[in-house]
A and B are shown apart, each in its own frame.
Chain A
Amino acid sequence: MEKVLQVDIENCVGCRTCEVACSLRNAGESNPTRSRIRIIRYERAGKFHNYVPMVCQQCSDPLCMEACPVNAISRDQGTGALVVDADSCVGCKVCSMACPIGGVSIDPVTNIAYKCDLCGGDPECVKVCDPEALTYVPKDMLDLTTKRKKSQRLTELFELMQSLR
């Protein structure tokens, strides 16, 4: 079964260990700027600390692939990931314009498009995400953990209602 990178925003603690893991693996250096996953911070010290992991969601109908004028983006049949062919890419940035979530960018060093390729089916970020904001799950299990978590709250609510009856 094909797997997908599942993001649970509520679990993210904003530590950016994923950024480091990604850049070490894919750029060979520690450099969040070149990480294919980025943690967007919503911090207002003294009020709230929220974090959102932003990473390519490997769209079913990928605008980046459609937009690419040199057909450098294709889908890997094994992993389902959209991958950039570094030899074909000319660095025109059209893919990053087309992407609705900022999932593909231009590498500041190589000047060609770079994006999450699921590390060939073994995503490095997931392995260090102890809070489980990132998990790698079979496609037919997507969001099941979220459903389970949310259902727990409903259960608690039912119990509360029953106790009030």
Chain B
Amino acid sequence: MFLGARGGNAWLFWKHSKANQDPYDPDAPLILGAGALAGTGLIGASRMEATAVSPAKTETHSYGNVGMGGSWAPELKFAGYDNIVIKGRAGKPSYLFVYNDDVEIRDAKEVWGRGTFETETLIREELDDDDVQVASIGPAGENLAVQATIEQGYRSGTPLGAAMGAKKLKSVAVRGTRPVSVHDPERVLELNRRLVEVVKEAKRQQGIVRDRGTDAYLQGFLVGDAGVVGNYEGHAWRDRPDIRRAYEESYIGDYYEKDIGCFGCPFPCQPLYSVPGVGACIWRCYPTYWPWKLWMTDLMASFEATRMMTDLGMDNKEIATIVSWLMHLYSDGVVSAEDLDGVPFERGDPKALFETVRKVVYREGFGKVLADGPVALARKLGPDAEKYLYHNQGLTMRTFEFRAEPGTALGEAISARGNSLRATTYHVVLWDKPAKDEYMGVDPAERDASYAWSKRMFGTEKAIMATEYEGKPAALIYEMNGAAIADSLGYCVSMIRPGRRGAPGSQFGDTSYESAVERYTAATGVPMHEAGLFTIGERICSLERAIVVRDGRTRKTDALPDFFFEVPIPDGPQQGKRLDRARFEGMKDEYYALRGWDAENGLPRRSTLEGLGLGEVADALKKHKKLGPERAEG
């Protein structure tokens, strides 16, 4: 019905949570799940998912989820479990240790208050086993900062650390020594061998070498237009020689050690840097987005901040966006240093970032308010400050340029989780960037093939063009259902990319859903087909929708701040663009219609839910008076 990590967790959340539950209610569930294919040995399927009432969605407490790679999910499988539901609250700081059939709540006094790095090491030492996999919160989660994360492996999603901290639960440590039975081991081996050959060949053709010493991802994000400068204040990367040079030269590359990655994947993608006097940390991808939100060209300080936040268990995207907002307020004179404990929020100054992190984690000064979310601080600072804060249910708006990308904007507004990356995946809506032609050189034949695919799938080539509205609802549904499948199977998005067969950028050969189906069947023996997987994806997304509408989401709150409709992009290649409200609402109409939700309030209908086998969900929504009315006959 639901599959493994995200789907399984969503169902368990639905069963165990109450409407509008307080994230710190001891009875609120914290659910950790392993991808359905984790531990089967299939390359690239080692992700886990954590689900809880999101503390960071301060305006409507509801469903929050986060996906993580690493080795935790397979270890849970080897211990013999798919999902863990944690309820209640410990009397004193504790951690959970799962070792095959033995499940133990242990005293965490040795690790409480410590960073996540040290916690992992100390727990492994205490249990005398370096193969124990540890998911922990840092001091941020212990002190219930809503921006706190659960740290394990490589994460993406909404911060849930405070939900774990509220349970006085420091870590969940797992160790398993048992088998995951695989339907057709020889077939799984063959699929893995073939994938390695494809990657080797792709690397040879693209001239990718190991020991590259600089972060190719960092370079990649520079060429995209996804990154904004400041608090959506600027956009023109190429017109800022100082920032451009900092990133292009990537001087921190001298400290590159090697790539590491997830269990069972020989293509590690997480660059590990080690800086003398600072320490080691993974520094990739999303962290490289945020420094320019802070106008920061000091990559070393950015690295140090990333490492510090990972250790403290703090979401660097949330904090960076908040600091960019405070810098904006400061530079426009809306607030002064006096309003913020004497900290000057000068653009580009790393000190403002370090101070904010420290204050939030330890709830000092303005951090005491900010730890309860940026909306709380904005209210304290006054209506002008509120106007500058762009948030979605209390979560900060991340780094996407929604004004130029209607599909991304729709995903952000509508996704159950509340921010769009990974909730929607991001390939279809983003790949077709003008900048990519300039820097990466898209093969025209491949590009035409992708356009043809778009036309076949969504009725228009425009569905995969980032700046268009047309066809976006259908493309987004495909993306969201696809992401739900990948997150449930535990697959990495590098391994499943909808419609990316032959599209530029993939080194992983056939990443289509047909091939995912083949792998799924080889591992499980369960007959499956692409449409069947998509029905599961649709079911998961509908269940997630049922959860959030139960908790108060409506069409009205499937929204973005007015700013993105009113203030045009000031500079850069997309200069002058802003969202068109009528067309945005039109996309919502189309989206709800395609999902089978009612247009007026965005509520799922009974017929839709029953069609997906979710009759009992319809019954429950009816009790909450949140069931969409059926369409009138004819």
Contact = CB atoms under 8 A, between A and B. Distances in A.
Interface of A: 13-17, 20-21, 23-25, 27-34, 40-49, 108, 124, 127-131
B117 A46 contact: yes
A16 B43 CA distance: 10
Contacts of B121: 43-45
B266 A45 contact: no
A27 B179 contact: yes
Given A13-B258, A13-B261, A46-B310, 14 more contacts: A13-B259, A16-B71, A23-B179, A30-B181, A33-B78, A34-B179, A41-B130, A45-B116, A46-B280, A47-B274, A127-B192, A127-B193, A128-B266, A130-B196
Contact of B196 (A31, A46, A48, A127): A127
Contact of B120 (A27, A45, A129): A45
B274 A130 contact: no
A131 B266 CA distance: 7
Contacts of A13: 258-261, 266, 268
Contacts of A33: 78, 177-179
Interface stretch (B182-190, B429-437, B488-496, B611-619): B182-190
Contacts of B307: 46
Given A21-B189, A30-B182, A128 B196 contact: yes
28 contacts: A13-B259, A14-B260, A15-B263, A16-B71, A17-B265, A20-B41, A21-B41, A21-B189, A24-B41, A28-B182, A29-B180, A29-B185, A30-B40, A33-B78, A41-B131, A44-B117, A45-B120, A46-B118, A46-B280, A46-B310, A47-B280, A48-B274, A48-B280, A49-B257, A128-B43, A128-B196, A130-B200, A130-B266
A101 B263 CA distance: 24
Contacts of A42: 130
A21 B120 contact: no
B262 interface: yes
A34 to B, nearest CB: 7
A108 B192 CA distance: 26
B272 interface: yes
B23 interface: no
Interface in B168-183: 177-182
B192 A21 contact: yes
Contacts of B260: 13-14, 49
A5 B196 CA distance: 19
B263 to A, nearest CB: 6
Contacts of B311: 46
User: Closest 5 CB pairs between A and B?
Assistant: A46-B117, A31-B179, A130-B266, A45-B117, A20-B41
Nearest to B71: A16
B382 interface: no
Nearest to B136: A45
A61 to B, nearest CB: 31
Indicate the size class of the contact surface on chain B.
35 or more
Contacts of B33: none
B413 interface: no
B623 interface: no
A139 B356 CA distance: 59
A46 B120 CA distance: 10
A30 B121 CA distance: 27
Interface string B127-155: 00011000000000000000000000000
Contacts of A127: 192-193, 196
Contacts of B192: 17, 21, 127-128
Nearest to A32: B78
A109 B426 CA distance: 45
Contact of B267 (A41, A47, A124, A130): A130
Contacts of B196: 127-128, 130
B323 interface: no
B556 to A, nearest CB: 44
Nearest to B185: A24
B280 A49 contact: yes
Contacts of A27: 179
A131 B185 contact: no
Contacts of B41: 20-21, 23-24, 30
Interface string B247-291: 000000000011111111111100010100001110000000000
A109 to B, nearest CB: 8
A16 B260 CA distance: 11
B506 to A, nearest CB: 16
Nearest to A14: B260
A129 to B, nearest CB: 6
B15 interface: no
Nearest to A51: B260
Contacts of A14: 260
Contacts of A31: 78, 178-180
B628 interface: no
B521 to A, nearest CB: 16
B182 A49 contact: no
Contacts of A131: 210, 266, 268
Nearest to B180: A30
Nearest to B266: A130
Nearest to A21: B189
Contact of A28 (B116, B185, B262): B185
B216 interface: no
B39 interface: yes
Given A17-B264, A46-B307, A128 B200 contact: no
Contact of A46 (B115, B188, B266): B115
B226 interface: no
B280 A17 contact: no
Contacts of A23: 41, 179
Contacts of A108: 177
Contacts of B199: 130
Given A30-B39, A30-B179, A43 B259 contact: no
B130 A43 contact: yes
Contacts of A20: 41, 264
A97 B130 CA distance: 22
Interface centre among B39, B120, B192 (most CB of A within 10 A): B192
Contacts of B265: 15, 17
A20 B118 CA distance: 29
Contacts of B177: 33, 108
Nearest to A38: B131
A137 B188 CA distance: 25
Nearest to A130: B266
A123 to B, nearest CB: 12
Nearest to B279: A46
B630 to A, nearest CB: 47
Contacts of B200: 130
